Amino acid sequence: MKKNNFFKQILSGTLILALAVGFTSCKKDDVDETGSARIKVVNASSASNAQSVFLANNAIIQGGLAFSNSSDYITTNSGNNLNLEFRNEGSTTAYASGRFDVDNGSSYTAFLAGDGQQARVKLYEDDLAAPAGGQAKVRFVHLSDAAPANVDIRRNSTTNLAANLARDNASNFMNIEPGILSLQVYAAGGTENLGTFDLSAFVEGKIYTVYITGSTAQNITVRQITHN
């Protein structure tokens, strides 16, 4: 009996050690020291202060990223399970963070979304292949906590550009005619227009992301960023 108890203790200790090692490893930044990726950063959190941004505990933006501002692409190390962290300017603690795999040779856009307890970090891979001839290219991202969980983004009351787009998700990139685009936002499948938003003119050959943000019904807005 004593012998059986002894082996049970060994097995129990081994299991606890394995779980501890697994938990530690899942929290670790696995940086590829020889790989690189490019990340564009956007502050889409309407109530946030100006932000600094850290990837794997290395500063990639040192303060000054205010709401609606975006950075140029920043070249950084690729890797797995990398901690991407937004901090209020001058703070040493995270306002919001998330862990992501960042592939060697790829390009991404990172968003700070939501306000207060709903603040979060979202990362989307970018398709930077040139648009079709005579076209611009755009995708849509739903980051608004005030808008319905699923929305339709329409060119008019009947023509969807992105249908049933879920919160924190991005549409595929699509070709679009150059020029000024007026967008309407509806609850998915709904008939009530939540707002009409005029964007700056899309330029032939350019690539854009258009994102919905806002944590109250009064501050739902649509904004655009350029990738090239």
Q: What is the CATH number of the domain that holds 168?
A: 2.60.40
CA pair distance 217, 209, nearest whole angstrom: 22
Please check whether residue 16 lies inside any domain of the structure: no
Residue burial 181-218, b: 16+ Cβ < 10 Å; e: rest:
bebbbbbbeeeeebeebebeebeeebbbbbbbbbbeee
Please check whether residue 172 lies inside any domain of the structure: yes
Q: What is the pTM of this model?
A: 0.86
220 and 162 inside one domain:
yes
**Angle at 119 (CA atoms; ends 23, 55), nearest 5 degrees:** 55
- What is residue 158's predicted lDDT score, i.e. its pLDDT? 80
95 and 63 inside one domain:
yes
- What is residue 4's predicted lDDT score, i.e. its pLDDT? 55
Inter-CA distances, 223 with 14, 61, 139, 183, Å: 53, 21, 12, 11
- What is residue 219's predicted lDDT score, i.e. its pLDDT? 87
Please check whether residue 140 lies inside any domain of the structure: yes
Please check whether residue 25 lies inside any domain of the structure: no
Last residue of a domain, one of 125, 145, 166: 125
Tokens (6 digits) for 2: 């004593």
Give me the domain span that covers residue 37. 30-125
Please check whether residue 66 lies inside any domain of the structure: yes
Last residue of a domain, one of 125, 149, 173: 125
42 and 71 inside one domain:
yes
In the predicted model, residues of the chain with pLDDT beneath 70 are: 1-27
Number of domains the chain contains: 2
Last residue of a domain, one of 74, 92, 125: 125
86 and 166 inside one domain:
no
120 and 151 inside one domain:
no
- What is residue 27's predicted lDDT score, i.e. its pLDDT? 64
Tokens (6 digits) for 207: 């690539």
99 and 157 inside one domain:
no
151 and 100 inside one domain:
no
Query: Which residues 6+ apart lie within 8 Å of 5 measured at CB?
Result: none
44 and 119 inside one domain:
yes
